[in-house]
């Protein structure tokens, strides 16, 4: 009986975990195999080389944080405000190796040093902004205000985790709830 192969998705997931922990330099075939508890030979059954793995990691990340999220939001009922509420809930719950903020930040850092990654990040950000524009534009007639709301949402997604400020008598969760309510007015 042959050995059971480690699924392709596990290599990608472990690669994203390594990227999140240590940047693209940490994505090494040998260390991924060790983390998965397998020999590195199985890697080559799926990928020609490390560059192919890195490209599939980015493909997976892009699909999960853009198209899959949009599909999930669109699969539910309701108007644009209801869809935005669903989007906010999905974004705040995303903690997986591909969808979490840590993976997002690692890819953004990588994009500062790699033009191909920067181009992919631009594509993801533009896709997100286009989708947000369509939702906010459904109930906000002022294009400039739509753009400002979209920018606030994207900035909060990335920057909220860097802010260490206290909020008077309010918790961070309460402030985020107030912010979402303000955005949907």
Residue-averaged pLDDT of the chain: 93
- The CA R_g of the chain, rounded to the nearest whole Å, is 19
CATH class of 8-183: mainly alpha
DSSP string, 35-54: HHTS-GGGGGGT-SSHHHHH
**Does 178 have pLDDT greater than 50?**
yes
**Does 2 have pLDDT greater than 70?**
no
**Does 19 have pLDDT greater than 70?**
yes
Q: What was the pLDDT predicted at 15?
A: 97
Q: What was the pLDDT predicted at 104?
A: 92
Q: What was the pLDDT predicted at 39?
A: 87
**Does 94 have pLDDT greater than 70?**
no
Q: What was the pLDDT predicted at 4?
A: 59
At 33-86, the pLDDT tens digits run 999 999 888 899 899 999 999 999 999 999 999 999 999 999 999 999 999 999
Q: What angle do CA 25, 162, 128 make, to 5 degrees?
A: 75
Query: What is the CB-side half-sphere exposure of residue 177 using CA atoms within 13 A?
Result: 5
Rounded distance, CA 93 to CA 91, Å? 5
Rounded distance, CA 148 to CA 132, Å? 11
- The dihedral through the CA atoms of 20, 21, 27, 33 has a sign that is negative
Q: What was the pLDDT predicted at 172?
A: 92
């Amino acid at each position: 009986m042959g050995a059971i192969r480690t699924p392709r998705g596990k290599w990608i997931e472990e690669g994203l975990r390594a990227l999140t922990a240590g940047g693209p330099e940490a994505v090494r075939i040998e260390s991924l195999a060790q983390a998965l508890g397998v020999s590195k030979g199985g890697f080559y059954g799926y990928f020609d080389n490390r560059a192919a793995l890195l490209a599939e990691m980015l493909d997976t990340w892009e699909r999960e944080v853009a198209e899959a999220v949009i599909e999930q939001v669109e699969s539910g009922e309701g108007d644009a405000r209801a869809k935005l509420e669903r989007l906010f809930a999905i974004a705040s719950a995303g903690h997986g190796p591909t969808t979490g903020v840590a993976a997002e930040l690692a890819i953004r850092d990588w994009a500062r040093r790699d033009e191909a990654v920067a181009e992919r990040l631009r594509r993801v950000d533009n896709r997100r902004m286009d989708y947000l524009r369509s939702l906010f534009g459904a109930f906000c007639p002022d294009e400039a205000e739509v753009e400002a709301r979209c920018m606030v949402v994207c900035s909060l997604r990335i920057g909220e985790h860097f802010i260490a400020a206290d909020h008077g008598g309010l918790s961070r969760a309460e402030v985020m709830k107030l912010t979402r309510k303000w955005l949907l007015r």
